[in-house]
Amino acid sequence: MRDLENTTLTSKEEAARQYIFIEKAKEYVAKKEQEMGRKLTFCVQTFGCQMNARDSEKLVGILEQVGYVEVEDEHADFVIYNTCTVRENANNKVYGRLGYLSNYKKKNPHMMIALCGCMMQEPTVVETIRKKYKFVNLVFGTHNIYKFAELLCNTLESDSQIIDIWEDTDKIVEDLPIKRKFSFKSGVNIMFGCNNFCSYCIVPYVRGRERSRQPQDIIREIENLVADGVCEIMLLGQNVNSYGKNLENPMTFAELLREINKIEGLKRIRFMTSHPKDLSDELIYAMRDCEKVCRHMHLPLQSGSSRILKEMNRHYDKEQYLAIVDKLRKEIPDIALTTDIIVGFPGETEEDFLETLDVVQRVEYDSAFTFIYSKRTGTPAAAMENQVPEAEVKCHFDRLLREVQEISTKKSMALEGKTMPVLVEEMNEHDASLVTGRLDNNSVVHFPGTEDMIGNIYQVKLEECKGFYYIGKVVDHE
């Protein structure tokens, strides 16, 4: 692995440099097209979080600019897996897919394969790729994604495997091509990396230290997106609540929210993920005051046991978490709360698990993502001796899931019959007469509609709750 790239180029100079490689790659692709008598195709498969999805949009933007045409399956001339490594099964999924790609490549010798993302920041993974998957052409990580055009040129010029992994970076390169998946909504990175080092989590090791984008760059990007038809943005960061601390002129996340709320034409603001230890009263007041900020907070609990939270290095306890929830509910009574919970962390007892159940029952989450603890090599928790037996973990997981689902159903039923604004996102996958959209609280609604409604907000009566979604009908167009 490589340390910080030793370069004196500014971010603007680096962006200009990458555009030179884009032009160069165009020539290579055009030449290859002539040889093969057809357009070259690509497929980008994304594993993991919204940060990865946003990174993939950057890869797609460059590939389309140099002349590749996107296809949906992996029978393509260039396949990229943008990987996740939060849980072990994410790694196994990628290794499994590589087996299929090996056969595809035998049938299409011109095919190129690239691996990038969080999984590639693990030295053991890179060594495995180097030894067992020699047919992979290019391997790069999370810190040098802005160099993709340059790495693409290097790959097109070389017959050998190219591996370019950095251990960290302090650079944020703006204004490179990007191809949004949706015309009406977009993710916007406000910061990168994480400084929290929760004992079970590998993210700080693969995403590096926290670095925030300049507020003026974020505002400019959102203004451009709105001018291009975007009405909803999702502010992205591993811990958005700690935004701005490392800026030369520090700015809080609450202050940033208030500035974004002023942007004309923008209708909805979402964000994730929030760490409870950094959730300030100032942020709660900003959410209350800013009419464009969705009344939805994803606030990971992970465990309801103060003892386990300390072992997890979460920097809050059960009572502090519940106090935050009380403040949120007091200032924003209609707020929807969702969470992440890990079952089976090393040393978790029945008593610890009951503490988690107690929080779930007291908070009454609108929904929760529940996970069985996954041992990640290189994290402190992986070295803990008191790993919980699998049968016990499974029992706790099933009990938690039942509780979460019962509460979620009850919360959903409370909205039945109400009329609420819904942003139409797509045609319904199963019924061509319906469109599918989301409430402010992120719940899904299906109702009669047509394709031209996509990207618009409608007042919809929620006529029937189906557990995790609603069936409705339009009452009015905003």
Name the percent of the chain lying above pLDDT 90. Answer: 79
Listed residue (8, 56, 94) closest to 187, CA to CA: 56
Mean pLDDT, consecutive 10-residue stretches, the chain (478 aa), reads: 55 92 96 94 91 92 97 94 84 90 90 94 93 95 93 93 89 86 93 91 86 95 96 94 92 97 97 93 97 96 98 97 97 96 96 98 96 89 91 96 95 94 95 96 95 95 93 85
Whole-number pLDDT of residue 273: 87
CA distance 4 to 143: 9
For 442, counting Cβ atoms within 10 Å of its Cβ (0-12 exposed, 13-18 middle, 19+ buried), the class is middle
Write down the pLDDT at residue 7: 57
pLDDT at 3: 40
Task: Give the Cα separation of 137 and 148 in Å (integer).
Answer: 13
| Residues 471, 337: Cα–Cα separation, whole Å | 22
Helical ranges in 68-202 per DSSP H:
88-107, 123-132, 148-157
In this prediction, residue 255 carries a pLDDT of 97
| Cα–Cα dist 450/426, whole Å | 9
10 Å CB burial of residue 443 (0-12, 13-18, 19+) is buried
Confidence (pLDDT) at 424: 96
The residue assigned the tokens 């603007």 is 12
Residue 223's pLDDT is 97
Residue 474 corresponds to which tokens in the numbers above?
């339009």
User: Angle at CA 198, nearest 5°, toward 192 and 199?
Assistant: 135
CA atoms within 13 A on the CB side of 465: 15
Distance CA(116)–CA(391), nearest Å, equals 35
Alpha carbon distance 233, 239 (integer Å): 17
Pairing of strands 78-83, 41-46: parallel
Give the pLDDT of residue 62.
Answer: 97
Other Cβ atoms closer than 10 A to 390: 10
Alpha carbon distance 240, 258 (integer Å): 14
Peptide bond into 273 cis (omega under 30): yes
